[in-house]
Amino acid sequence: MSSSGLSGEDQKELQSFLEGEQAKARVQSSIQNFTSMCWDKCITGGISTSFRRGEEECLSNCVERFLDTSIFLVNKLEQQRTQAAPPGL
């Protein structure tokens, strides 16, 4: 047992949990930023019960570009991580 009172396995589990929570927070932050960005870019009038002409398409395109870019970046980072990992891991 370490001075924190947790076994090595418990420390690893806690670290893994914390990393997962931090990843979730980063995703939520990204979603909030992208939502704000797309809204500001696409919604040109005041708030109403429906979107104006072109606003819905603009939002859809903005979301699709964001998702495509995010998927591309995740795949690229995963490739880099895999290439950088020592053999056997």
Note the pLDDT tens digit of each residue in 28-46.
Answer: 888 888 888 999 999 887 7
Note the pLDDT tens digit of each residue in 18-27.
Answer: 988 998 888 8
User: What per-residue confidence (pLDDT) applies to 79?
Assistant: 87
Sign of CA dihedral 68, 41, 52, 32: positive
Mind listing the domains of the chain with CATH numbers? Answer: 8-84 (1.10.287.810)
CB atoms within 10 A of CB 83: 7
33 vs 56: CA distance, rounded Å: 18
User: What per-residue confidence (pLDDT) applies to 1?
Assistant: 47
15 vs 7: CA distance, rounded Å: 12
Residue 68, pLDDT > 70, answer yes
Residue 75, pLDDT > 80, answer yes
